[in-house]
Amino acid sequence: MERNIYNDEQKMFAQSVRDFVAKEITPNNPKWEKAQMVSRESWLKFGEAGFLCMQVDEEYGGLGIKDFRYNAIITEELARTGCAGPAVGYPLHSDIVTPYIAHYGNEATKKKYLPKLVSGEWIAAIAMTEPGAGSDLQNIRTSAIDKGDHYLVNGSKTFITNGYLSDVCVVAVKTDPSKGAKGTSLVVMDSSMKGFTKGKPFEKVGLHAQDTCELFFENVEVPKENLLGKEGEGFKYMMTELSQERLVVALSAIAAAEGVLEKTVQYTKERIAFGKPIAELQNTRFKLAEVATKVTIGRTFIDRCVELHCDKKLDQATASMAKYWLTDLQGKAADECLQLHGGYGYIWEYQVARAWADARVQRIYAGTNEIMKELIARNVLK
């Protein structure tokens, strides 16, 4: 089905990203999986190519490209390859963390952090989830006590993507625990700050090239100028920015599903069983038809969501629908495609095995799919 979301210039941009990924990302992914993280050299190359934080204004080193379609292209091209570490890490850095600093940071904060995030010299993470507070962000306990010219931060965060390599972290803290959500604030922390430490990268079911870890804060002195926006407004900022985060996850989900479907179609044409390619068997043909239909429906929906987002009309409920439905679809597509590979589908060197393992977490982070359904239901019943 022909897509009309991208113009000719954007299609050329997509090809340039595709070529870069084929040269710099895909060949290196196996060693990154063993190292449990993408190399810093790769981050610098990605930044040098102009693929990080493109929306950042030119005065801070960015390209000032406000059309989100360009960001969507990068997410799609990365996810389609099956290299899930970079496909998660780069978009999170550019499209999820950086906007908090660009939208709510003061001038000094922008000048300090944005240029190095654009170049890839510094790597960004966002720290919301805590051991006792996952999707329930209102109940975070990491505290930030006002000490006059700085906050004294104590607490911990877990499951932090880009955590181990992070140089810059947007951290959700409680500046007034008595006010619940209205007592939540956001601060920017440097990993070089005394008392800011990191745990070892988790050994995960999937996303083996992604450095996910715990962060610990023990009497970390965070300058007041590192407060993002206003004190007590952090929860509102998170709710505002989470629609784009969920859109990014949904984009990666549909592109990953398309990628694994393409590989599976190729495999079924080459794999011989009972004297002929398994693509000629009715069960194979029906399964491929089912997956292709669902992926096409998903693609149509997500393209519309991107259009809405570019027009600043993507509401929270629709973003939640995209995140929930497309990550569910990603998991089902990967599972069906693995089955069509037979025993080879369970071998890690085959993209379908990685796609199957990597897909599972998509239904958990950025708000579990159960939370997405709750947000959708509130909109339906209002």
CA separation, residue 194 to residues 90, 221, 225 (Å): 27, 8, 17
The DSSP 8-state label assigned to residue 126 in this structure reads E
The CA dihedral of 370, 375, 379, 382, to the nearest 10 degrees, is 100
AA letter at 204: K
- Two structure tokens written together for 99: 């906007």
Residues 173 and 140: beta-carbon distance below 8 Å: yes
Around 142, how many Cα atoms within 13 Å sit in the side-chain half-sphere? 29
Task: Indicate which residue of 214, 245, 258, 336 is catalytic.
Answer: 245
Q: How far apart are CA 75 and CA 60, in angstroms?
A: 22
- Two structure tokens written together for 103: 């939208």
Residues 200 and 213: beta-carbon distance below 8 Å: yes
Indicate the pairing of strand 168-174 with strand 124-127: parallel
Residues 331 and 360: beta-carbon distance below 8 Å: yes
The verdict on whether 245 is a catalytic residue reads: yes
Query: Which residues are designated catalytic?
Result: 245
